[in-house]
């Protein structure tokens, strides 16, 4: 706005200002965080168990208290006052500082864990040593940088989950969904794998809710061997891993849309929905961003498919008498599955794909061509000129670390909370493909009630221009929609509803909206 | 190529332009003095509250207009010259047209109150009003209290805006209960309570007498008809709107309250049309008012007129009435006609249900003798537009509507539902025995 800010107050003004409770709770949480930071400098407080507990509890308490102080005195309802005025949530100085700090943390975590106190042979030091007691209690092993990260990640989802539930206390959809992500993170990503490691040391670390291609490493030789060597339970987990991508996820996505995973179960989604919530409106809604999104995320799918195929291909043999699955039969098998999916989409869903069909075809033919190349030109362990392990390390570096961590989370305060889910996650792309073509899920637009205000688009973390559909009276059926339900929550006119219904009439384009002359509507809308 | 000039880039003018472009290759020019690009007027409040930035209120990206060959002129039309078929802009330029469409919307009402033009007194309609409010009431230190005059939809929105910055608000409402010219008394009473919950100083049955200036010509207080003087820094005038048509006075176009149009939306002068808030029907359509300052009707007029201008004459023929609003945290939708006690028809009877604790309620209007369903007001519950439109078409009874009420629920999944409570209240009130049917997708989507 053009108004001159005549206020000299450093603390800002409503709705930017913090009240007393909020200030005290920030102090509490920062003390908790401060204990960890001090640990980085190898100050020995002694008694790690005690100090870790104090630190974690203070952080949890600080965030919970902050939420209470923020929302307790307000009526139930949408709490977006001042979102675009606050420095932290409008790419102000606090936003940039947070982004840089997070990014720095990820770089250290991924590439320089020794700065956090990781010692390969011997006792950990610094921050990681602080977490040793907890790690030993759970799995029996000393902590690693990943254990520290996992603990903080879970703590963040729990603490900010509480905040989110306070903020949306009027919405049972939001409350229950948040409980769900808090549960899956704590139980499936954090506690169960550690306990499984304690019960059966041979089992590879397995977060059961992660499925290929999110855990792109799941079918690598060492893991597959690990599963098989761990006996029946390992074999069961391997089979579950295959079933989850080919059977379980398609059924659930058909029934509920990809939200069953992306905003109810997934850990990345869980972080985005809780910690990332104050930044959801920062996603780019332009058509250009959408175009970039489609190219990038689908390229990742092609890449991960090739990479996984190449990795498995490289450790299979040629002799079918030794093991039933040989290099050639595996390659043919993958090609047949892909061809079946591609043929089904082209035959039955071509009308819904329109221009995207061409891009799909390009992707498909690239993959098949590479397979042929693999078959004819690859030697032992090589895919063309590259070692398959090189492909795998570059994927894990570029996509697994840089994209999902450094950019995906580090840049929350700059690009919004779902950058990874939108541009990088191959799992989201595959579920999205299915959601678009073969699912009961849609966001229904309520007749002609839209007033084009733009709250839905602004608060869409996936950068979907929801309003563009709603103002045409058209349902929103988009592959990227993670079904968080915030568009529906912030709509001041009750226009949007996430629901699962018949596929017939799910996509309904209209030019003249309900409420006008019936003859005119018929004339214009008949296609 | 035929040149269509549209004055005003609100929802009516823009809808018209988009539809003309879909149907034809005609030259289209939209003239607006208010803003360079189309924005959603209803969203201005969210800019002041910090929910959105102004750019988010623009439904189309800036490149949209060029791509669709819709010319935009940022200027103020001073005069329409029907004889030469051109319009004169305030910068001296003229633009000639083959067809002219007036879509200039409304302006806030001022009823001749002493002091109504002082600094710090303003309405809330345009982008400029929003900018003015940002100047007048940036925070609670510079605006120690605001007084809002007029208890309608804009008034309560303005109160919500100011409260988001913790500015104390006194809300003068002429009626004895909020918006009770439109809402039945149970609902109006519920909104009264909710306004007070938000710490808004609601003064019912109170009128503005005058606004007092300070030595610099700024508003410093208002005097009410109860003899009370209330100190304030900002006065919001939100007592309704009136068509924004002063520039047409000497144009020869027939004016009443608004620009008089026939059912084809044409004025008394050939090739000049009017749509949206500023258009006045010669004969009211059904229960509608001759001037309807509503987002949806503006859009519908744009949709209809585009057909006419592209060679397919189409009368403006709105379907069943619907509307929606949000009173602070309470969402409101209405389908069909529910009148207040003041405006109720002889044959109209009401069934009212209110949640014992939450601010949730519905009122259904039905025909006393035939039980024909006439309309519904719903607060704090979302209902499906499509179904009510169909039920009104099919002339269903209130019993039928309640029996199938579960189909109409549009609340988010996992919300508590109230159909059973509502229906048992109806059964008790009217000695009936209706049993609700389970939700059916087949019925909702009309699948066979």
Q: What is the pLDDT of residue B18?
A: 97
Q: Which chain B residues have a beta carbon less than 8 Å from that of A502? A: 441, 445, 447
- Regarding whether A486 and A337 lie in a shared domain, the answer is no
- Regarding whether A455 and A413 lie in a shared domain, the answer is no
The helix/strand/coil state of B108 is strand
What residues contact A522, with CB distance under 8 A and at least 6 apart? none
- Mutation for testing the A interface, residue in B50, B234, B275 having most A CBs under 10 Å: B50
Same fold for the pair B3-107+242-309 and B121-239: yes
Is A88 a member of any domain? no
Q: Which chain B residues have a beta carbon less than 8 Å from that of A456? A: none
What residues contact A102, with CB distance under 8 A and at least 6 apart? A409, A410, A411, A412, A413
* CATH superfamily of domain region B3-107+242-309: FAD/NAD(P)-binding domain (3.50.50.60)
Domain extent, residue A54, equals 18-72+117-186
User: Contact B33/B58 with Cβ under 8 angstroms?
Assistant: no
Compute how many other C-beta atoms are within 10 angstroms of the C-beta atom of residue B440. 12
Q: What is the pLDDT of residue A344?
A: 85
- Regarding whether A472 and A413 lie in a shared domain, the answer is no
Q: What is the pLDDT of residue A323?
A: 76
Closest B-chain CA to A15: B165
Closest B-chain CA to A85: B50
Closest B-chain CA to A513: B300
Is A220 a member of any domain? no
Residue with tokens 């349902």: A475
B319/A514 touch (CB, cutoff 8 Å), yes or no: yes
For chain B, say whether A8 makes contact (Cβ under 8 Å): no
- Regarding whether A412 and A330 lie in a shared domain, the answer is yes
Lowest mean pLDDT among A503-507, B30-34, B201-205, B360-364: A503-507
Q: For the stretch A460-474, what's the b/e string if a residue is b when 16 or more beta carbons lie within 10 angstroms of its beta carbon?
A: bbbbbbbbbbbbbbb
- Regarding whether A142 and A58 lie in a shared domain, the answer is yes
Q: What is the pLDDT of residue A3?
A: 44
Q: What is the pLDDT of residue A4?
A: 47
- Mutation for testing the B interface, residue in A6, A16, A515 having most B CBs under 10 Å: A515
| CATH architecture classification, B322-444 | 2-Layer Sandwich (3.30)
Q: What is the pLDDT of residue A385?
A: 58
Provide the token pair at B70.
């819709």
- Mutation for testing the A interface, residue in B11, B146, B195, B324 having most A CBs under 10 Å: B324
Domain at A467, CATH number? 3.30.70.20
Closest A-chain CA to B388: A447
* Confidence tier at B291 by pLDDT (50, 70, 90): very high
Q: What is the pLDDT of residue B39?
A: 98
Is A345 a member of any domain? yes
Is A315 a member of any domain? yes
Per-position pLDDT tens, chain A of length 527: 444 444 444 445 777 788 999 999 999 999 999 999 998 887 777 888 999 999 999 999 999 999 999 999 999 999 999 999 999 999 999 999 999 999 999 999 989 999 998 988 888 888 999 999 999 999 888 999 999 999 999 999 999 999 999 999 999 999 999 999 999 999 999 998 888 878 877 777 788 888 888 888 888 888 888 888 888 888 888 898 889 889 999 999 999 999 999 999 999 999 999 999 999 999 999 999 999 999 999 888 888 888 888 888 878 877 777 777 888 888 888 888 888 888 888 887 777 776 777 777 777 878 887 777 777 776 655 665 567 777 778 888 888 778 888 888 889 999 999 999 999 999 999 999 899 989 999 999 999 999 999 999 999 999 999 999 999 999 999 999 999 999 999 999 999 999 999 988 888 888 888 888 888 888 888 75
Rounded CA-CA distance A95/A414 in Å is 7
Q: What is the pLDDT of residue A1?
A: 40
B443 pLDDT higher than 80: yes
Q: What is the pLDDT of residue B28?
A: 98
- Regarding whether A460 and A323 lie in a shared domain, the answer is no
Is A165 a member of any domain? yes
Rounded CA-CA distance A270/A184 in Å is 9
List pLDDT tens digits, range B152-204.
999 999 999 999 999 999 999 999 999 999 999 999 999 999 999 999 999 99
Picking from A83, A512, A523, the nearest residue to B51 by CB comes out as A83
Provide the token pair at A293.
């999104």
A515/B51 touch (CB, cutoff 8 Å), yes or no: no
- Regarding whether A181 and A59 lie in a shared domain, the answer is yes
- Final residue in a domain of this structure, among A186, A214, A237: A186
Q: What is the pLDDT of residue A507?
A: 86
Rounded CA-CA distance A386/A311 in Å is 11
Is A50 a member of any domain? yes
Total domains in chain A come to: 3
Provide the token pair at A37.
């930071």
For the residues of B38-105, what is the DSSP string, one character each? ---GGGHHHHHTTSS-GGGG-SS-THHHHHTTEEEEE--EEEEETTTTEEEETTS-EEE-SEEEE---
Strand partners, B77: B89
Quick one: what percent of chain B has pLDDT higher than 90?
99
Cis peptide before A222 (omega within 30 of 0): no
- Regarding whether A508 and A402 lie in a shared domain, the answer is no
How far, in Å, are B48, B69, B77, B138, B272 from residue A2 at the CA level?
Answer: 12, 31, 25, 11, 37
Cβ under 8 Å to B: A residues 241-260: none
Name the residue ranges covered by the structural domains of chain B: 3-107+242-309, 121-239, 322-444
A515/B414 touch (CB, cutoff 8 Å), yes or no: no
- ipTM of the modeled complex: 0.96
B322/A448 touch (CB, cutoff 8 Å), yes or no: yes
- Mutation for testing the A interface, residue in B120, B410, B411, B415 having most A CBs under 10 Å: B410
* Nearest CA distance, A471 vs chain B (angstrom): 9
Q: Which chain A residues have a beta carbon less than 8 Å from that of B414? A: 172-173, 176
- Regarding whether A338 and A445 lie in a shared domain, the answer is no
Fold of B121-239: FAD/NAD(P)-binding domain (3.50.50)
Rounded CA-CA distance A365/A376 in Å is 17
Q: Which chain A residues have a beta carbon less than 8 Å from that of B197? A: 75
B198/A75 touch (CB, cutoff 8 Å), yes or no: yes
Q: Which chain A residues have a beta carbon less than 8 Å from that of B416? A: 172
Find, among A136, A118, A132, A110, the residue nearest to A194 by Cα.
A136
Q: Rounded mean pLDDT of B144-155?
A: 95
- Final residue in a domain of this structure, among A167, A186, A205: A186
Is A221 a member of any domain? no
Measured on CA atoms in the order A80, A85, A87, A91, is the torsion positive or negative? positive
Rounded CA-CA distance A310/B292 in Å is 66
Provide the token pair at B339.
């009148």
Picking from B61, B383, B414, the nearest residue to A286 by CB comes out as B61
Rounded CA-CA distance B291/B286 in Å is 13
What is the 3-state secondary structure of A96-157? HHHHHHHHHHHHHHHHCHHHHCCCCCCCCCHHHHHHHHHHHHHCCCCCCHHHHHHHHHHHHH
- Regarding whether A487 and A393 lie in a shared domain, the answer is no
Rounded CA-CA distance A152/B196 in Å is 43
- Regarding whether A478 and A337 lie in a shared domain, the answer is no
- Regarding whether A456 and A375 lie in a shared domain, the answer is no
Provide the token pair at B390.
């169909």
CB pairs under 8 A between A and B: 209
């Amino acid at each position: 706005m053009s108004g001159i800010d005549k206020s000299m107050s450093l603390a800002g003004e409503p709705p930017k200002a913090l009240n007393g409770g909020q200030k005290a709770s920030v102090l509490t949480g920062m003390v908790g965080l401060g204990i960890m930071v001090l640990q980085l400098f190898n100050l020995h407080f002694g008694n790690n168990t005690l100090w870790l507990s104090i630190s974690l509890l203070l952080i949890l308490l600080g965030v919970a208290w902050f939420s209470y102080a923020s929302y307790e005195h307000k009526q139930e309802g949408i709490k977006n006052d001042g979102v675009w005025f606050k420095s932290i949530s409008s790419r102000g100085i606090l936003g940039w500082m947070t982004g840089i700090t997070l990014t720095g943390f990820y770089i250290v975590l991924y590439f320089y864990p020794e700065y956090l106190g990781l010692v390969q042979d011997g006792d950990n030091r610094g921050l990681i040593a602080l977490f040793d007691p907890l790690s030993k209690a759970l799995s029996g092993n000393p902590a690693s940088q990943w254990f520290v990260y996992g603990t903080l990640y879970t703590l963040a989802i729990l603490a900010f989950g509480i905040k989110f539930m306070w903020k949306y206390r009027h919405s049972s959809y939001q409350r229950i969904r948040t409980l769900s992500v808090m549960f899956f993170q704590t139980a499936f990503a954090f506690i169960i794998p550690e306990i499984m490691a304690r019960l059966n040391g041979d089992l590879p670390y397995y977060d059961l809710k992660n499925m290929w291609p999110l855990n792109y490493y799941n079918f690598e030789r060492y893991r597959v061997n690990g599963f098989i060597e761990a006996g029946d339970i390992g074999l069961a987990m391997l089979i579950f891993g295959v079933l989850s991508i080919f059977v379980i996820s398609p059924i659930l996505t058909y029934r509920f849309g990809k939200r069953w995973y992306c905003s109810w179960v997934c850990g990345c989604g869980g972080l985005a929905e809780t910690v990332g919530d104050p930044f959801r409106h920062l996603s780019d809604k332009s058509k250009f961003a959408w175009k970039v999104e489609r190219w990038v995320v689908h390229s990742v799918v092609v890449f991960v498919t090739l990479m996984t195929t190449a990795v498995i291909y490289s450790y299979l043999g040629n002799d079918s008498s030794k093991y039933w699955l040989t290099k050639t039969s595996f390659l043919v098998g993958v090609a047949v599955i892909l061809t079946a999916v591609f043929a089904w989409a082209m035959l039955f869903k071509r009308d819904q794909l329109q221009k995207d069909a061409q891009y799909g075809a390009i992707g498909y033919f690239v993959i098949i061509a590479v397979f042929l190349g693999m078959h004819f030109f690859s030697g032992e362990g090589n895919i063309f000129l590259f070692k398959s392990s090189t492909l795998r390390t570059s994927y894990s570096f570029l996509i697994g670390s840089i994209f999902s961590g450094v950019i995906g989370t580090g840049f929350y305060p700059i690009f919004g909370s779902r950058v990874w889910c939108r541009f990088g996650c191959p799992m989201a792309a595959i579920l999205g493909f299915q959601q678009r073509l073969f699912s009961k899920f849609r966001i229904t637009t309520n007749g002609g009630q839209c007033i084009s205000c733009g709250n839905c688009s602004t608060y869409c973390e996936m950068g979907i221009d929801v309003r563009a559909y709603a103002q045409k009276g058209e349902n929103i059926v988009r592959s990227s929609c993670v079904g968080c339900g915030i568009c529906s929550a912030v709509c001041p006119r009750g226009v949007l509803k996430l629901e699962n219904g018949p596929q017939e009439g799910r996509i309904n384009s209209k030019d003249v909206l309900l409420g006008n002359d019936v003859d005119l509507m018929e004339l214009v809308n008949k296609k | 190529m035929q040149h269509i000039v549209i004055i005003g880039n609100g929802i009516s003018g823009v809808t018209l332009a988009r539809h003309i472009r879909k149907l034809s290759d005609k030259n289209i020019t939209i003239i607006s003095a208010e803003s360079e690009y189309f924005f959603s007027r209803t969203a201005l409040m969210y800019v002041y509250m910090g929910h959105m930035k102004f750019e988010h209120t623009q439904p189309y990206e800036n490149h949209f207009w060029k791509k669709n060959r819709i010319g935009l002129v940022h200027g103020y039309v001073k005069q329409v010259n029907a004889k030469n078929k051109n319009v004169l802009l305030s910068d001296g330029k003229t633009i000639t047209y083959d067809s002219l469409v007036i879509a200039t919307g409304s302006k806030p009402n001022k009823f001749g109150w002493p002091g109504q033009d002082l600094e710090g007194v303003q309405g809330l309609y345009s982008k400029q009003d929003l900018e003015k409010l940002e100047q007048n009431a940036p925070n609670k230190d510079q605006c120690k209290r605001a007084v809002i005059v007029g208890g309608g939809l804009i008034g309560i929105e303005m109160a919500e805006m100011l409260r988001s910055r913790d500015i104390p608000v006194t809300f003068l409402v002429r009626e004895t209960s909020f918006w009770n010219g439109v809402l039945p008394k149970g609902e109006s009473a519920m909104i009264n309570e909710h306004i007070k919950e938000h710490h808004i100083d609601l003064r019912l049955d109170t009128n503005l007498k005058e606004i007092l200036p300070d030595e610099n010509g700024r508003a410093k207080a208002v005097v009410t008809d109860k003899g009370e003087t209330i100190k304030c820094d900002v006065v919001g005038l939100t007592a309704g709107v009136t068509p924004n048509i002063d520039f047409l006075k000497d144009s020869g176009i027939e004016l009443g309250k608004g620009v008089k149009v026939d059912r084809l939306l044409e004025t008394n002068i050939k090739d000049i049309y009017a749509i949206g808030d500023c258009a006045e029907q010669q004969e009211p359509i059904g229960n509608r008012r001759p001037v309807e300052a509503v987002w949806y009707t503006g859009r519908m007029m744009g949709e209809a007129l585009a057909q006419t201008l592209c060679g397919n004459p189409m009368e403006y023929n709105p379907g069943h009435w619907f509307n929606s609003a949000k009173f602070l945290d309470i969402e409101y939708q209405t389908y069909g006609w529910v009148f207040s006690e003041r405006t109720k028809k002889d044959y109209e009877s009401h069934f009212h249900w209110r949640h014992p604790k939450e601010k949730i309620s519905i009122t259904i209007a039905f025909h006393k003798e035939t039980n024909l369903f006439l309309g519904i007001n719903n607060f704090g519950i979302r209902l499906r537009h499509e179904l009510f439109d169909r039920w009104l078409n099919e002339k269903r009874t209130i019993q039928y509507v309640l029996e199938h009420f579960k189909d109409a629920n549009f609340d988010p999944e996992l919300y508590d539902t109230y159909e059973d409570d509502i229906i048992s209240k109806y059964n008790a009130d009217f000695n009936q025995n209706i049993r609700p049917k389970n939700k059916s997708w087949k019925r909702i989507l009309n699948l066979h």
